[in-house]
Structure 1
Amino acid sequence: MIKKYRDQFNLEFTAEKYAEVHQLLNEKSGIDVAFRLSESPIFLPKSFQEKLLDASKSIISQVKKMSPEELDKAIPDSCRVPNDTAKPHFLAIDFGICKTNDGEIAPQLIELQAFPTLYAFQKVYDDIVTEVYPFLKDVKNPPSKVDYVQILKDVIVGDENSENVILLEIYPEKQKTAVDFALTEKFLGIKTVCLTKIKKEGKKLFYENDGKLIPINRIYNRVIFDELENLPDLKTEFDFREEVDVKWITHPNWFFKISKYILPKLVHAYVPKSYFLNEFPTDENLENFVLKPLFSFAGAGVNLNPTQEVIDKISDKENYILQRKVTYEPLFKDINGDFSKAEVRLLYLWKEDEAEPILMDNLVRMTKAAMVNVDFNKKDAIWIGSSNAFFAED
């Protein structure tokens, strides 16, 4: 959207520089990136950034006003974890870059989650892209790496020894986000531990390191709790629903509370109207809405063109929403003259003793397909995948 930077990037881009980004990420993390990286960042005007921040500020304010009882209704009884907290440590807010009916290029809220994402990876990636394309130093994203790591450490490690803090995942070596786990270990000095390796004695949890059992006092949780139900042969000593003597970063209940569940409750010019499926008004046109299950990742279960026949077959309508369709605008020109669409995820961290969360970085997903998910793209497409946004004056 900023011609100056787009033209310069496209002029400087080469396949060798794209390979260099991958190589540097491999060197810094020690493993290959398992998801597709876009060849290009996107460049957005400060005026668009202000729209993003205005919408996010409003959304956060509305969330803060929701009562614990209201949010608590989002948690399925089968997934409820003891010792809930007053607020989450993480907040990720996804906006599509869209064209409105009056022709305005504006953000439109797609979804939001109180669950950690690629915090460590994204900072390293930003720095590497800036290193490979030095002209981007003019629009580099704050904060500095030193400050960024310190804030991350404040939230995740806190006052604990890093030895007693773990990143928890299920089969972490098989996850596409393993590169982020590796970089988080380097940033914070903590270990990544598989749920199947956790030892339990009474209410205390332990992991094994160099033949010794190490007490776990804080868990940086990366397990998507409700997905455990899809692993019927999983054998563990520890069940999330048990009361244990640990501090959750962030508490698993927030995965449900800040999710598609609250979309129908939010009001803002950049928040498309949503309804719970069982409350969909008769005067609305189904053709104008997208069907989404309340709890799913990476576009699973989303129906872009739901029909009444599809709706009628859903028995648990309270677990779905209908969200008004938005039009992603193809704005990001590649070296062949084709255009990609994108959405921006704002990455917040929320310290327990602070009233407002801290905006740390952004993550961009680029596409040329109907859905902003790499799996839906043609394999030979370019300017698709995970990236970042730089903001500058027009």
Structure 2
Amino acid sequence: MIQKYRKAFNENFTEERYNHFLKKLGEGFPEIPFRVAETPIFIPDALKKKLIAAGEEIISLIKQDNFKELTQKAIPKEWNVPNEIAHPHFLTFDYGLCKDESGELTPMLIEMQGFPSLYGFQTHLAKTYKKEFDLDEKLSPYFNGLDETSYFELFKRVIIGEHRPQEVALMDIDAPNQKTAIDFFVTAKHLGIKILALEEISKEGNQLFYEENGQKIKLKRIYNRLIFDEIGENTDIFKNSFDPREELDIEWITHPNWFYRISKYTMPFLKSEFVPETRFLNTIENIPTDLENYVLKPLFSFAGMGVIIDVTEADIIAIKDPENWILQRKVTYEPVIKAPDAGVKAEIRMMYLWPEGEEPQLCINLGRLSRGKMIGVRYNADFDWVGGSVGLMEK
């Protein structure tokens, strides 16, 4: 998209160089189980400004006094966790790259979350792209004047706060073996915190502990990467550890309720040139006659699971819980990334950190390239020039 960088990158690209890049990317870390794209995204200044403006509009809704009231029904009763905090520590907004009516490149909101993303890995990915492909030093994945040092200072302040690193743990069900484990290890390397599987945490009274070298250490904060949607009814996993829904002497980074509040549930409340028409299915009196222009999404799903791309009237009629679904006007992705053989579609995730008592700060981004009907890396496994990426901008 910044043509001078795209042209130079493609002219100098070789499979050997890409394979060497992948080798360096994984060096010292567990194997990366998802596909990493051959190229970064070179974000032009005009698109960067639109991405920032889109995010500011969304954040203004989230900061409204009645936002919690608007989104209270987003939290399933069986997953409502006590002691919710005033705001999330993370905001991530996913935009498809499209063209507007005048042919200008524009972002369109696809998904949003009040839950952490690859905040550690994206720094490592950008740095490795730049080094292994000899990219211009003035290209950066960061916003608001941040660099690698100041970014991790902010990240550390959000995750660790006033505590000692050993009193904070990144937690998931089977953390070291998750698909995103490399993000966990990059984060732990920079912040000095523990990576703990759920069963490595024990409960005494309302306090949580883990053991290290035979010593019992009290946890004060959990950097939560556990997604309740993925647990479903399998609550037996809590038997040998602790149940997050109990009253606990623990600080959540971020509190689990925000995963639900800031999600697809929020989108029908947004009215913006950067947000496609989105409605709760149970509020639709007349099914649109042009369903080919819509996509049907469950509110409570993760990584695109359950999404119906080619919607029919029968699909809608078959939905037993329409209050838990949205009907969203399709977004037409523009194949803006020039691969050697064809154009490739792209999505950019804008990633914010929100320190307690401060304002949310746009920090870094994540890119995904696709040739398939859906953007996620799992839907593009058989293609090249697709997968996880990062946007680089001129400082």
Could you state the TM-score of these two structures normalised by the residue count of structure 2? 0.95
Q: CA deviation at 1:257?
A: 0.3
Secondary structure of 2:120 counterpart: helix
Secondary structure of 1:40 counterpart: coil
Q: CA deviation at 1:283?
A: 6.9
Contact 1:100-1:327 within 8 A present in 2 as well = no
Deviations 1:29-73 (A, max 9, x none): 422212110000111210011111111101101111143222222
Secondary structure of 1:124 counterpart: helix
Q: CA deviation at 1:325?
A: 0.6
In structure 2, the partner of 1:17 is 17
Deviations 1:132-159 (A, max 9, x none): 1233312223322111111110000001
Secondary structure of 2:138 counterpart: helix
Q: How far apart are the structure 2 equivalents of 1:326 and 1:155?
A: 34
Matches within 5 A, 1:123-142: 123-142=123-142
- The runs of at least 4 consecutive aligned structure 1 residues that moved more than 4 Å come to none
Contact 1:79-1:226 within 8 A present in 2 as well = no
Q: CA deviation at 1:362?
A: 0.6
Contact 2:35-2:377 within 8 A present in 1 as well = yes
In structure 1, the partner of 2:208 is 205
Matches within 5 A, 1:164-175: 164-175=167-178
Selected match of 1:177 from 174, 177, 180: 180
In structure 2, the partner of 1:112 is 112
Deviations 1:319-350 (A, max 9, x none): 00011111001111112x21110000001000
Contact 1:334-1:382 within 8 A present in 2 as well = no
Matches within 5 A, 1:346-385: 346-354=350-358, 356-377=359-380, 379=382, 381-385=383-387
In structure 1, the partner of 2:390 is 388
Q: CA deviation at 1:25?
A: 2.2
> Percent of aligned positions with the same letter in both sequences?
46
In structure 2, the partner of 1:331 is 336
Deviations 1:285-320 (A, max 9, x none): 433210001021211001111111111111111000
Q: How far apart are the structure 2 equivalents of 1:61 and 1:236?
A: 41
Q: How far apart are the structure 2 equivalents of 1:236 and 1:319?
A: 31
In structure 1, the partner of 2:73 is 73
Once the two structures are overlaid, the 10-residue window that deviates more, 291-300 or 253-262, is 291-300
Q: How far apart are the structure 2 equivalents of 1:212 and 1:268?
A: 53
Contact 1:374-1:384 within 8 A present in 2 as well = yes
Contact 1:292-1:322 within 8 A present in 2 as well = yes
- Residue 367 of structure 2 aligns with an amino acid whose one-letter code is V
Matches within 5 A, 1:1-394: 1-27=1-27, 29-65=28-64, 66-142=66-142, 143-229=146-232, 231=234, 233-234=236-237, 235-282=239-286, 284-285=288-289, 286-335=291-340, 337-354=341-358, 356-377=359-380, 379=382, 381-392=383-394
Secondary structure of 1:50 counterpart: helix
Q: CA deviation at 1:94?
A: 0.3
Secondary structure of 1:261 counterpart: helix
Q: How far apart are the structure 2 equivalents of 1:385 and 1:204?
A: 41
Secondary structure of 1:96 counterpart: strand
Secondary structure of 2:81 counterpart: coil
Q: CA deviation at 1:282?
A: 1.8
Q: How far apart are the structure 2 equivalents of 1:233 and 1:219?
A: 20
Contact 2:365-2:391 within 8 A present in 1 as well = yes
Once the two structures are overlaid, the 10-residue window that deviates more, 227-236 or 266-275, is 227-236
- Residue 136 of structure 1 aligns with an amino acid whose one-letter code is D
Could you state the TM-score of these two structures normalised by the residue count of structure 1? 0.95
- Residue 118 of structure 1 aligns with an amino acid whose one-letter code is L
Q: How far apart are the structure 2 equivalents of 1:152 and 1:232?
A: 31
Once the two structures are overlaid, the 10-residue window that deviates more, 140-149 or 54-63, is 140-149
Q: CA deviation at 1:13?
A: 1.2
Alpha carbon RMSD of aligned pairs, Å? Answer: 1.5
- Residue 262 of structure 2 aligns with an amino acid whose one-letter code is I
Q: CA deviation at 1:19?
A: 2.0
Deviations 1:190-234 (A, max 9, x none): 111111221000010011111221101000000002322253652
Q: What are structure 1's unaligned runs of at least 5 residues?
A: none
Q: How far apart are the structure 1 equivalents of 2:79 and 2:21?
A: 40
- Residue 333 of structure 2 aligns with an amino acid whose one-letter code is Y
Secondary structure of 2:163 counterpart: coil
Contact 2:34-2:378 within 8 A present in 1 as well = no
Q: CA deviation at 1:361?
A: 0.6
Aligned length: 389
Secondary structure of 1:107 counterpart: strand
- Residue 300 of structure 1 aligns with an amino acid whose one-letter code is M
Deviations 1:231-287 (A, max 9, x none): 365243311110100000000000000000010000110110100011124274433
Secondary structure of 1:73 counterpart: helix
Q: CA deviation at 1:171?
A: 0.8
Q: How far apart are the structure 1 equivalents of 2:104 and 2:140?
A: 26
Q: How far apart are the structure 1 equivalents of 2:287 and 2:36?
A: 42
Once the two structures are overlaid, the 10-residue window that deviates more, 310-319 or 60-69, is 60-69
Deviations 1:107-146 (A, max 9, x none): 1000100000100110011111111123331222332211
Q: How far apart are the structure 2 equivalents of 1:349 and 1:188?
A: 15
Secondary structure of 1:135 counterpart: coil
